Amino acid sequence: MSQTQMMKGIIDGCLLAIIDGNECYGYEMAERLGDYGFDAVSEGTIYPLLMRMQREGLVTSVRRASTAGPQRKYYSLTKEGKQALAEFILRWQQLEKSVNAVLKKEME
């Protein structure tokens, strides 16, 4: 069991939350997740995820010049994306509750 495996499906929601807070681009999202305490999330994970979420209509993107390198692709949430984020939060809270219930009940 790696940290990796526990991440599945959760990064999506966290990306939505970050984008909702403020228009953001992939490279920065990876850094931010690191700041929040996640194991370094690889770009090979983030970019395909962002592209999938765009395909699904949860986010839109615009390219903008950077002062320090190639163009950035800034993402924003659509109405569907905001909805998906709200649903993610509910599911996360339910999951948190369930796992903690198992750990608490079984660990004493």
Give contact residues for DNA (rule: CB under 7 A): 1, 3-5, 7-12, 25-28, 39, 41-45, 47-52, 65-74
Show the beta-strand stretches assigned E in the chain.
24-25, 59-64, 72-77
Question: Which neighbouring-strand residues pair with 63?
Answer: 73
User: DSSP secondary structure string, 8-37?
Assistant: TTHHHHHHHHHHHHS-EEHHHHHHHHHHTT
51 is an interface residue for a second copy by CB under 8 A: no
62 is an interface residue for a second copy by CB under 8 A: no
Q: Which residues bind a second copy (CB under 8 A)?
A: 1-10, 12-14, 17-18, 20-22, 33, 36-38, 84, 87-89, 91-92, 94-99, 101-103, 105-107
